């Protein structure tokens, strides 16, 4: 069932399949203590969709009380029972795929097929970690220490109540990628979604309740005051883990705060992915790969191709074909059937993307398509291609987070590697070539957590997602994603 993309598009007003104006804390759906609310807007129409509680510091601490109270019984729940709940969550999400996708389109703006693909990807974390959970209690070591005097036993245990903070660009998948492994490992959770896109997280919490998650194991706090609410939760020594996806700037703040209580941290931060096309690449594959890696989620993706490096022999033809495709992309509301590119998430994002393009062009870059904001309603920005980008343009170093491709020509393999690594970030990278030895050599030489070879999509629940340098600490998904929520316990045994 999960492989079928529904062709019918949703109504512009999504169904809210969870209690309105409330958030789930300790098994009850409650308003903010202050009575305050946040209005969620549709970025394609700029119209309000719904309201959610504007949670206070007190609400955040109530969520921590609930998570701390539920911790030992959840950790003591047999792994198979936890796995069954995760598997039921997977089925619950897939059964309500259209409802989730409609919410994602409404609050985030991505086109309908992309929203459905995100639902499948997000649900996939529950399936993957349900499968891993059953084996959990069988893992460990038992043996004689090298001197032959006593036994060493090593086992895993949950790290404890976990605070999970997510960005707006993948409203379901970013939460799923944290909640599923946390619950698999036996940790209780407080999810703090981005204030722009809280609705999908509330539906996920509802589906998890229906799947049998006990009270207090998944709490959601929606708030417009993230800095203070998060700081208060992190200052409490009962918080044992913070897993954050978002900007490097906020990641630094959280690492500093985590230092006070020596909290376990996972940080999925910003990116500046290079995409390298060698002369011997299959041109069609490279153009398609670059389109996907650039336009996924309208370019608002931490693994979006930020810098496209094309070898001189193929540069003109690649640029011509790629620009042709970018110029033909259909922009519109995600609810329209043929939309390929939705709006950006808000005005701030549009202004940031527009200013990077204007700065590059003012300094001498050539704009081959796009480059101007359309008038009218909605936070739209057109697919844009820039070449001849000068050394002083900001776009060379900043994360674009929009549908703008910056193309650079290069001559030698070493030059491409040096340029690719010339960034404080190290999240994703992409290489297009038919020469396998070169592909592996260049992949090894690029300092990034992930490399796609001849493909523009690398995310997979079974693979470790994450970055090096300023792109973060730790991995999500794969086996590493579960270890992120575990402590190692060693027992020395004298028989």
Size of the site for ligand NAD (CB under 6 A): 25
Catalytic residue among 302, 336, 413, 419: 302
Catalytic residue among 118, 268, 399, 476: 268
At closest approach, how far in Å is the CB of 251 from ligand NAD?
A: 7
Counting contacts by CB under 6 A, is residue 378 touching ligand NAD?
Answer: no
The residue (of 306 and 339) whose beta carbon lies closer to ligand NAD is 306
For every residue of 222-263, which 3-state class applies, written as one string? CCCCHHHHHHHHHHCCCCCEEEEECCHHHHHHHHHHHHHCCC
Catalytic, 187? Answer no
The residue (of 310 and 345) whose beta carbon lies closer to ligand NAD is 345
Residues whose CB falls within 8 Å of the CB of residue 87, separated by 6 or more in sequence, listed in order = 126, 127, 130
Counting contacts by CB under 6 A, is residue 449 touching ligand NAD?
Answer: no
* Residue 364 and residue 390 in contact, taking contact as beta carbons nearer than 8 Å: yes
Which listed residue (24, 43, 175, 270) binds ligand NAD by CB under 6 A?
270
Residues whose CB falls within 8 Å of the CB of residue 168, separated by 6 or more in sequence, listed in order = 108, 194, 196, 197, 345
At closest approach, how far in Å is the CB of 164 from ligand NAD?
A: 10
SS3 label, residue 489: strand
**Chain residues 303-332 in contact with ligand NAD, contact rule CB under 6 A:** none
Sign of the alpha-carbon dihedral angle for 221, 224, 230, 232: negative
Residues whose CB falls within 8 Å of the CB of residue 370, separated by 6 or more in sequence, listed in order = 326, 327, 357, 381, 382, 383, 384, 385, 403, 404
The residue (of 198 and 382) whose beta carbon lies closer to ligand NAD is 198
At closest approach, how far in Å is the CB of 430 from ligand NAD?
A: 16
CA atoms within 13 A on the CB side of 50: 26
Q: Which residue has the tokens 């693994």?
A: 303
Planar angle of CA 309, 251, 394, nearest 5 degrees: 35
For the beta sheet containing 366-369, the strands, ordered from the edge strand earlier in sequence to the opposite edge, are 366-369, 384-387, 404-410, 305-311, 273-277, 428-432, 450-453
Residues paired with 321 in a beta bridge? none
Counting contacts by CB under 6 A, is residue 115 touching ligand NAD?
Answer: no
Which listed residue (90, 100, 121, 168) binds ligand NAD by CB under 6 A?
168
Which listed residue (54, 98, 118, 399) binds ligand NAD by CB under 6 A?
399
Counting contacts by CB under 6 A, is residue 474 touching ligand NAD?
Answer: no
Q: How many residues does the chain have?
A: 495
Counting contacts by CB under 6 A, is residue 439 touching ligand NAD?
Answer: no
Per-residue contact string for residues 23-62; x = within reach of ligand NAD by CB under 6 A? ----------------------------------------
Closest by CA position to 32, among listed 237, 198, 258:
198
User: What's the rounded Cα separation, in Å, for the pair 341 and 294?
Assistant: 11
The residue (of 167 and 370) whose beta carbon lies closer to ligand NAD is 167
- CA end-to-end span of the chain: 54
Minimal CB distance to ligand NAD: which residue? 246
Counting contacts by CB under 6 A, is residue 470 touching ligand NAD?
Answer: no
Counting contacts by CB under 6 A, is residue 107 touching ligand NAD?
Answer: no
Catalytic, 340? Answer no
The residue (of 304 and 383) whose beta carbon lies closer to ligand NAD is 304
Six-digit token pair at 64? 């921590």
Quick count: other Cβ atoms within 10 Å of Cβ 113? Answer: 17
Counting contacts by CB under 6 A, is residue 90 touching ligand NAD?
Answer: no
Planar angle of CA 180, 181, 186, nearest 5 degrees: 100
**Chain residues 284-303 in contact with ligand NAD, contact rule CB under 6 A:** 302
Counting contacts by CB under 6 A, is residue 443 touching ligand NAD?
Answer: no
User: What's the rounded Cα separation, in Å, for the pair 103 and 161?
Assistant: 28
Counting contacts by CB under 6 A, is residue 246 touching ligand NAD?
Answer: yes
The residue (of 346 and 435) whose beta carbon lies closer to ligand NAD is 346
The residue (of 64 and 230) whose beta carbon lies closer to ligand NAD is 230
At closest approach, how far in Å is the CB of 425 from ligand NAD?
A: 9
The residue (of 166 and 429) whose beta carbon lies closer to ligand NAD is 166
Six-digit token pair at 116? 């459905």
Which listed residue (166, 200, 222, 239) binds ligand NAD by CB under 6 A?
166
Counting contacts by CB under 6 A, is residue 169 touching ligand NAD?
Answer: yes
SS3 label, residue 191: strand
The residue (of 171 and 216) whose beta carbon lies closer to ligand NAD is 171
Per-residue contact string for residues 206-235; x = within reach of ligand NAD by CB under 6 A? --------------------xx--x-----
At closest approach, how far in Å is the CB of 466 from ligand NAD?
A: 7
Region of 58-66, 160-168, 416-424, 440-448 interacting with ligand NAD (CB under 6 A): 160-168
Closest by CA position to 122, among listed 142, 141, 97, 147:
97
Counting contacts by CB under 6 A, is residue 247 touching ligand NAD?
Answer: yes
Catalytic (active-site) positions: 268, 302
Q: Which residues here bind ligand NAD, judged by CB under 6 A? A: 165-169, 192, 194-195, 226-227, 230, 245-247, 250, 253, 268-271, 302, 399, 427, 467, 472
């Amino acid at each position: 069932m999960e492989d079928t993309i529904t062709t019918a598009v949703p109504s512009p007003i999504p169904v809210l399949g969870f209690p309105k104006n409330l958030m789930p804390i300790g098994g009850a759906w409650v308003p903010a203590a202050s009575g305050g609310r946040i209005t969620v807007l549709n970025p394609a129409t700029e119209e309000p969709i719904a309201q959610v509680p504007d949670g206070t510091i007190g609400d955040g601490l109530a969520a921590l009380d609930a998570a701390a109270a539920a911790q030992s019984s959840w950790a003591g729940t047999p792994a198979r029972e936890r796995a069954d709940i995760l598997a039921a969550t997977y089925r619950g999400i897939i059964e309500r795929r259209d409802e989730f996708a409609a919410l994602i389109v409404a609050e985030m703006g991505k086109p309908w097929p992309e929203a459905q693909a995100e639902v499948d990807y997000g649900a996939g974390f529950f399936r993957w970690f349900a499968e891993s959970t059953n084996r959990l209690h069988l893992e460990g070591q038992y043996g004689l220490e090298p001197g032959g005097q006593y036994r060493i036993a090593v086992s895993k245990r949950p790290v404890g109540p976990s605070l999970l903070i997510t960005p707006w660009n993948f409203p379901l998948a970013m939460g799923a990628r944290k909640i599923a492994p946390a619950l698999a490992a036996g940790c209780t959770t407080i999810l703090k979604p981005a204030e722009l896109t809280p609705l999908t997280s509330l539906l996920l919490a509802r589906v998890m309740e229906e799947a049998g998650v006990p009270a207090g194991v998944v709490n959601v706090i929606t708030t417009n005051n993230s800095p203070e609410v998060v700081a208060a939760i992190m200052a409490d020594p009962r918080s044992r883990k913070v897993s954050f996806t978002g900007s490097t700037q906020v990641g630094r703040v959280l690492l500093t705060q985590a230092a006070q209580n020596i909290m376990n941290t996972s940080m999925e931060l910003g990116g500046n992915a290079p995409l390298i096309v060698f002369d011997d690449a299959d041109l069609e594959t490279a153009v398609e790969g670059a389109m996907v890696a650039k336009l996924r989620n309208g370019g608002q993706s931490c693994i979006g191709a930020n810098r496209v490096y094309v070898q001189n022999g193929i540069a003109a033809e690649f640029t011509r074909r790629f620009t042709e495709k970018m110029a033909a992309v259909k922009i519109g509301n995600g609810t329209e059937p043929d939309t390929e590119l939705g709006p950006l998430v808000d005005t701030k994002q549009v202004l940031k993307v527009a200013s990077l393009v204007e700065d590059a062009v003012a300094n001498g870059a050539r704009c081959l398509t796009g480059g101007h904001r359309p008038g009218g309603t909605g936070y739209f920005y057109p697919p844009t291609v820039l070449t001849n980008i000068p050394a002083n343009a900001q776009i060379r170093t900043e994360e674009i987070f929009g549908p703008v491709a910056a193309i650079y020509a290069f001559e030698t393999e070493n030059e491409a590697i040096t340029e690719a690594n010339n960034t404080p970030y190290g999240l994703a990278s992409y290489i297009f070539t038919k020469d396998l030895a070169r592909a592996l050599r260049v992949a090894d030489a690029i300092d990034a957590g992930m490399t796609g070879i001849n493909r523009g999509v690398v995310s997979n629940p079974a693979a470790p997602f994450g970055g090096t340098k300023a792109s973060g600490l730790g991995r999500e998904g794969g086996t590493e994603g579960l270890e992120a929520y575990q402590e190692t316990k060693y027992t020395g045994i004298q028989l």
